[in-house]
Structure 1
Amino acid sequence: MTTDFRTSTAEGKVNFVNVYDLEKAASLVIPTGAFGYISSGAGDMWTLEQNTKSFNHKVIAPGVLRNIENPDQSTTILGQKISTPIIMAPVAAHALANVQGEAATCKGVAESDTIYTVSSYAGQTYEEMRAASGDAPQWFQFYMSKNDDDNIKILDLAVKNGAKAIVLTADATVGGNREIDLRNGFTFPIAMPIVASYQSGVGQTMDAVYKSSRQNLSYKDIEFIQKHTNLPVFVKGVQTAEDAEAVIEAGADGVWVSNHGGRQLDGGRASFDSLQEVAEAVNKRVPIVFDSGIRRAQHVFKALASGADVVAIGRPVIYGLALGGSEGVKEVFDYFKNELKMVMQLAGTHNIEEIKNTKLRKNEYM
């Protein structure tokens, strides 16, 4: 499934202070083109940068004297109890970071007792990922092809391998302007077996990969997926109240707020700013997943306090994978869990529901 591409073979403990240090260390072991693809965003990367900076638009007002020694960060989504409100976002081609690929990431996420979201553009077979996860819950992120026969085959594969939900990515019908990939001449050295019926991935740019997918997505696709899977469907890429209302009206079982990690429309809103608008429109009718820009547990806390039910992380996990394989993946989740425990204690919240009921304040220093 790969050419002569070579990257990290690491497996073991990773020493790091924070995610920013982790990214720097990963840049030394992931080949230049692959690291550029993983780490960069579209255009001037303004939206990518704002994704993290936007968390400073709101601040936490700590609560004291609330008898909090061991806050509980377990939660439930779609009836599935998980140890933390932090899940794995869908990310393509994990073998760009470590030759062990998605199997190692799945193992680390399973050991963290949370949800792994399988990417349509994974570099390993669904069966390999399922085997590495054991009984741990998985969702499937779906890029629809232009051919519904292919779509049905792929959805059947997800159902066969125990997917608990389908995540329809709606914000990537064309590739974003990823100039770093152009400068590096990056093309995928790794096959994409899940979507092999309509594309290989090998030797393709990201833009070419997207051109093989359906570019005329519509609300009818939600019903199509539900009909062929009988699974809940999240629509990923929702960034406005109007779209949130529309996809719920069309039957979506969940909303996933994301701007694709700043990789699509540069100059668009930061994901955290979109979350607050979307959550008000959703008004707890369906669960909300949030991603893009999370680098601290404070960001997790603020997202939950702004309407998210769970948050998803991507790049930090891939950096942990590069540096430590499955153990590195677990260490990234442990890092966020440990920091979230500290934030919960200092903020005065006993559990996730109390975080959701926390009122953030406007940052008066901006």
Structure 2
Amino acid sequence: MTYYFKGFPQSDQNKSLKMIYVDELEERAKEVMPEPAYYYIASGSENEWTWRNNTAAFNHFQIIPRSLTDMDDPQTETEFLGKKLKTPIMISPIACHGISHKDGEVATALGAKEAGAMFSSSTYANRSVEDIAEAAGDAPRLFQLYLSKDWDFNQMVFDAVKAAGYQGIMLTVDALVSGYREANLRTKFTYPVPLDFFTRYQGGQGEGQSVAQMYAASAQKIGPDDLKKIKERSGLPVLVKGILCAEDAQMAIDAGADGIVISNHGGREIDGAPATIDMLPEIAKVVDHRVPIIFDSGVRRGSHVFKALALGADLVGIGRPYLYGLALGGSKGVASVINQLNDELKIDMQLTGCKTIEDVKHAMITNLPYSSDNLPSSTDPTVKPPYPVTDHNQMKASYVTGTDGEEPAPQVAEPVDTEGGASH
């Protein structure tokens, strides 16, 4: 079924998703999303070099397997800002979840709650923080702030977020203007669904606006004093989101930041910026455990989560994959994406002798100069050529294939006559 908001199609699915890995969902999402909405998610700025390298650069770092560790059953539970989580994987903020699903951020928050993950929502969310709080209850959540030039607007946001039980604010500092996003221009993307905070404050502004127009309403000038002012006015912990160099991390901590979010905005701002994972070790060294670190940008595998944790992160955010999961399966689709990555993470934990997430943070990582390709596996449908069909390599109709990774039921094979078919 599809729900239409003023002619814009929105998915209303709510089902668990099967996948071999999360990137499969990107292509499948085209079946339920119109082209402008799809490319709002599935694109970066300019030539998309940074967007691509965010994922490819994870290959700059390698996990050292460990043997004879005498352990099993790894556990992914962790804690952040006093909240217990089932996984270190978190939902990073992205605007306008209504382009993926009619229930928007409410469905995303419910999916995060089901998977036991930290959720975060954007200033540019479609659904209200009150709706999210009502649906998700006491599930942990953060709020991502695009600081406005209008401090009355900011105060309205602070008051609502605190009343709705959010644990902290993530102040975005790396998107003072919109990056040059060619895909948005080519598809003429505008936000097709109202954005709650703009509706309640300005009577509907947001719907029909371009990304660049929305960013123009935000503050283009943010400094350490703004961070102090936000902490004072909100009464909440404030994490600084969009740090990509050690000097800025130190400046944020000096200004009172309660956490650092290492991110290049998913390759959607400066094209030509380094991959986020390449900057993590240097920043983590300067932070030196004084405040927690959230990492995001480019995460597509459980091994990526493992590497980010081992290099200094406390939580690891995902972005685009969960929006595809949301489009294809609603809240259960979001949970499926988190669970898929968490299951992959557990495999790496077992193979490195890491019983807990704290163990992962001390795992052995090396940095050897391999090619940093990001090629898919040899059986990936995007690269695998059609398998040849011959008279001799086809299974009989009586062969029962396995499901969900189970072995096929045993069958008695018929002898094959190599001269031309099965013998009788």
- Which interval holds the TM-score relative to the shorter structure? over 0.9
Aligned equivalents of 1:195 and 1:69: distance in 2? 50
CA drift of 1:265 comes to 0.5
Aligned equivalents of 1:9 and 1:230: distance in 2? 37
| Structure number with larger C-alpha Rg | 2
Paired amino acid for 1:264: E
1:111 corresponds to 2:114 = yes
Aligned residue for 2:222? 217
Deviations along 1:82-128, whole A, 9 cap, x unmatched?
Answer: 11111110011111011121111111111111211011100111111
Aligned residue for 1:37? 40
Aligned equivalents of 2:261 and 2:197: distance in 1? 22
Q: Secondary structure at the match of 2:23?
A: helix
Aligned residue for 2:414? none
Paired amino acid for 1:113: G
Paired amino acid for 1:108: G
Aligned equivalents of 1:79 and 1:106: distance in 2? 19
Deviations along 1:154-199, whole A, 9 cap, x unmatched?
Answer: 1100001011011000011100000011000111111111233257
Paired amino acid for 1:234: L
Aligned residue for 2:239? 234
- Range 146-155 or range 2-11, more displaced: 2-11
Query: Please, which runs of 5 or more residues in structure 2 have no aligned partner?
Result: 372-424
Paired amino acid for 1:69: D
1:128 corresponds to 2:131 = yes
Using a 3 Å threshold, how does the CA distance of structure 1 residues 2 and 152 change in structure 2: closer, same or farther? farther
Aligned residue for 2:9? 6
Aligned residue for 1:263? 268
Aligned residue for 2:302? 297
CA drift of 1:337 comes to 1.3
Aligned equivalents of 2:358 and 2:15: distance in 1? 35
Paired amino acid for 1:162: G
Q: Identical aligned pairs, as a percentage?
A: 43
CA drift of 1:68 comes to 2.2
- Structure 2 length normalisation: TM-score? 0.84
Q: Superposition RMSD on alpha carbons, in Å?
A: 1.3
Check conservation: 2:5, 2:193, Cα contact below 8 A: yes
Aligned residue for 1:154? 157
Query: Please, which runs of 5 or more residues in structure 1 have no aligned partner?
Result: none
Question: 1:330 pairs with 335, 340, 345, which one?
Answer: 335
After the TM superposition, which residues 1-366 of structure 1 pair with which residues of structure 2 at under 5 Å, given as runs?
Answer: 2-196=5-199, 197-198=201-202, 200-366=205-371
Q: Which has the higher contact order (CA 8 A, sep 6+)?
A: 1
Aligned equivalents of 1:347 and 1:200: distance in 2? 51
Q: Secondary structure at the match of 1:140?
A: strand
CA drift of 1:2 comes to 4.7
CA drift of 1:221 comes to 1.2
Check conservation: 2:352, 2:363, Cα contact below 8 A: no
Check conservation: 1:104, 1:321, Cα contact below 8 A: yes
Paired amino acid for 2:267: G
- Range 97-106 or range 164-173, more displaced: 97-106
